[in-house]
Amino acid sequence: MTVDLIKLIYELSKKELSKHVREANVYWVSDLVRCLLKRDYEIKYPELGLRELFTPAFIYGSMIHRGLQSILKEIFADKVMVEVESSKEIKLPGSSEKVVIKGRADAILVTDEGNLGIEIKTSRSDMNLPHDHHVDQVMIYNWLFNLKYSLLIYITPDRVTQYEVLDRILDSEVADRVLDTRYPRYPWECNYCAYSVLCPYKKTPR
């Protein structure tokens, strides 16, 4: 029997990607914490984003997620849910248009005090933790899943640490993010963007 582990990992990554199906009026939480133009490009040029499917960083992150989720399951059994999906409809200001915000939490732990979100992040370095866009993401999850609070956990080569995120975003702030036209949202984003090869807004660091 020939065992091809690389092909197996590739298929797993493909499956991971297929969970984020694009629909015209649906915004994933991840869209709201990064350059929103990437969402448009993913709809228009889906093939360009596929190269991210097999980057070692993506695979590494995905393995850490699976590992920690299995550990949580082992410890908390049916008190913990992993890969939990939820959605909420919001109205955009100044129009009758409604959009759906969808998100998938890494894990939700049911406690006597209420539900607690767990968001797992990997990073090459432990500088400047926690990152603003990760805190924003978790604040949106607190809103979307009606969580008491969330733990943002970082697994890095130099530090394994967690942050409590108590705040939750407001409906109006979510709508503002859907309408945001700052491209990119963060100056460093273009360096890692698959669409930088065609984007007129690309920012090049000096």
Residues that bind ligand SF4 (CB under 6 A): 35, 37-38, 41, 183-184, 189-190, 193, 195-196, 199, 201-202
Nearest to ligand SF4 of 3, 197 (CB atom): 197
Minimal distance, residue 12 CB to ligand SF4, in Å: 26
Contact 119, 129 (CB under 8 A): no
Minimal distance, residue 70 CB to ligand SF4, in Å: 33
Minimal distance, residue 183 CB to ligand SF4, in Å: 4
Minimal distance, residue 146 CB to ligand SF4, in Å: 31
**CA nearest 53: which of 8, 3, 12?**
12
What is the spatial distance between Cα 54 and Cα 9, in angstroms, rounded to a whole number? 9
Nearest to ligand SF4 of 27, 195 (CB atom): 195
Nearest to ligand SF4 of 90, 199 (CB atom): 199
Nearest to ligand SF4 of 84, 194 (CB atom): 194
**CA nearest 104: which of 150, 47, 145, 139?**
145
Beta strands in 92-175 (DSSP E): 98-111, 114-122, 149-155, 160-165
- Helices (H) and strands (E) in the chain — how many of each? 5, 6
